[in-house]
């Protein structure tokens, strides 16, 4: 196994293939700030885009030139997934994370340009500070956007099922919400504790006037997409707005993971997951 596949306290760089490009993301798992680690949800997200970009709404011909903002970008993995599909991405985080985020943006855009001279495969991507609620920061990023994306924005694990359920209820009161089926995700890069949601604003959901204020720019079908745009090839196994209570299911599946491992062994993907968790838990432990 390659040493850099284990996300340990000494792993400062994660190498990741995204849409056929070998990218490199610097990280600092020993940092006190959670945003300086490459978390698994961002990898699941870009691999989901990779699997669904050949046709439908995630194909480059339909995404080219779309404006995207990434919230809580951290190391910037998710933003590069959209940029490599032709989007113009503004990837954002707090001031403490910005130096690392900018370094990853500059290094990878330069590498892509060098490896593909004259190509327009990459849309654009820039890193800026965004403190939620700061009106000056909000004006500076110049909304509206066609897409708003975020991975592990508020946390990287469920600590309270009641809080998780409350969050889902808040989403449903303002958006059409759909859970992405596991079959739509990459067969390797998925996990029971990681979910992807598609959310779209619709004037029929919640307060009509408030919803109308949020739709600064509409798509052809009259909705503005949030988080992930609804894939026209998705099945109807869980219609938009029918989220239900998944919190208990997530916790149960995660707790049984160790007994379901094929051949009783961890894959490289699982090894990196648990290595990342261990790195965070042991960061303050002093060995004498």
Q: What is the pTM of this model?
A: 0.72
CB count in 10 Å sphere of residue 282: 13
Q: Which residue has the higher pLDDT, 158 or 67?
A: 67
Enumerate domains of the chain plus CATH numbers. 3-278 (3.40.50.150)
Which range (10-19, 40-49, 89-98, 214-223) has the least confidence?
214-223
Q: How confident is the model at residue 167, as a pLDDT?
A: 86
For the ranges 114-123, 193-202, 264-273, which has the lowest average pLDDT? 264-273
Q: With a cut of 60, say whether residue 7 has pLDDT above it.
A: no
Mean pLDDT of 248-252: 41
* Owner of token pair 């293939």: 17
Rounded to whole angstroms, the Cα distance separating 55 from 79 reads 20
Q: What is the pLDDT of residues 112-170, one digit of tens each?
A: 988 887 677 789 999 999 999 899 999 999 999 999 999 987 766 666 778 878 888 99
Confidence band for 276, pLDDT divided at 50, 70 and 90: low
* Helix then strand then coil, % of the chain, to nearest 5: 40, 15, 45
Query: Residue 14: is its pLDDT beyond 80?
Result: yes
Q: How confident is the model at residue 37 (pLDDT cuts 50, 70, 90)?
A: confident
**Band of pLDDT at residue 67, cut at 50, 70 and 90:** very high
Distance CA 45, CA 192 (A): 14
pLDDT of residue 177: 92
- Whether the predicted pLDDT of 44 surpasses 60: yes
């Amino acid at each position: 196994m390659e040493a850099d596949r284990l996300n340990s306290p000494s792993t400062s760089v994660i190498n990741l293939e995204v849409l056929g490009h070998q990218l490199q993301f610097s990280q600092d798992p020993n940092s006190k700030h959670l945003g300086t680690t490459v978390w698994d949800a961002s990898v699941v997200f870009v691999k989901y885009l990779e699997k669904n970009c050949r046709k439908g709404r995630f194909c480059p011909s339909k995404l080219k030139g779309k404006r995207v903002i990434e919230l809580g970008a951290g190391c910037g993995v998710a933003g590069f997934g959209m940029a490599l599909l032709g989007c113009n991405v503004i990837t954002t985080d707090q001031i403490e994370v910005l130096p690392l985020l900018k370094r990853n943006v500059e290094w990878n855009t330069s590498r892509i340009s060098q490896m593909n001279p004259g190509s327009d495969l990459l849309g654009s991507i820039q890193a800026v500070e965004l403190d939620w609620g700061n009106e000056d920061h909000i004006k500076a990023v110049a909304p509206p956007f066609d897409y708003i994306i975020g991975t592990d924005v508020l946390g990287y694990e469920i600590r309270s099922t009641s809080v998780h359920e409350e969050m889902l209820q808040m989403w449903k009161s303002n958006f059409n919400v759909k859970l992405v089926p596991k079959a739509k995700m990459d067969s390797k890069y998925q996990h029971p504790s990681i979910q992807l949601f598609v959310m779209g604003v619709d004037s029929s959901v919640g307060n009509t006037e408030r919803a109308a204020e949020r739709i600064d720019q509409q798509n052809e079908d009259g909705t503005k997409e949030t988080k992930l745009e609804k894939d026209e090839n998705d099945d109807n196994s869980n219609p938009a707005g029918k989220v239900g209570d998944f919190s208990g299911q997530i916790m149960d599946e995660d707790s049984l993971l160790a007994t379901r491992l094929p051949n009783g062994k961890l894959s490289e993907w699982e090894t990196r997951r648990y290595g990342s968790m261990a790195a965070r838990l042991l960061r303050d432990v002093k060995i004498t």
